[in-house]
Amino acid sequence: MVFFNGSMKVKICEANELQPTAHSTRLNMGNKTIDPYVSIDVDDINVARTSTKQKTFRPTWNEEFTSEIHNGQTIGLTVFHDAAIPPDDFVANCSVAFEDILAQQQNDIWVSLLSQPPSMERRERGTPKNVGAVEFFAAKRRVCFCR
């Protein structure tokens, strides 16, 4: 198992093929777009959030975040629809192990997003659908990976 210790620099670039949620379409008279943002977590601890992009399934952020990480194992990226009335709607998510980032030959990574939040119980889960992808850039400098 690989643990990450050091300064993590992540750039959320863009997403594509995002899908509307049932809640995002309930008040949009025929306009079935979403207002997406990405929440960035390390081992289920929130470390950053992008800005909200209005009415799009192909948002572009190009936003960079730096955070000090101690014994991190995975980066979680969760896309939400910024709802007018809270809570915000889950759109899709993914997680990437720091070990997988280390194994990548390049820093620019596209990951598939799945349609079910991680908190759903196993018996309620069907097979998650791929509902889009997000591109991010993970800097590997100033990093200490420990096994």
- Span 89-139, pLDDT tens digits: 999 999 989 888 878 777 788 888 887 665 544 434 445 555 566 766 666
pTM metric for this prediction = 0.82
* CATH number, domain containing residue 88: 2.60.40.150
Q: Which domain holds residue 56?
A: 3-140
- Asked whether residue 63 is domain-assigned, the answer is yes
Mean pLDDT of 23-51: 84
- Asked whether residue 146 is domain-assigned, the answer is no
Tell me the average pLDDT of the chain.
80
- Asked whether residue 38 is domain-assigned, the answer is yes
The structural domain count of the chain equals 1
Q: How confident is the model at residue 80 (pLDDT cuts 50, 70, 90)?
A: very high
Q: How confident is the model at residue 63 (pLDDT cuts 50, 70, 90)?
A: very high
E strand or H helix that includes residue 98: helix 98-103
- CB neighbours of 116 closer than 8 A, spacing ≥ 6? 125, 126, 128
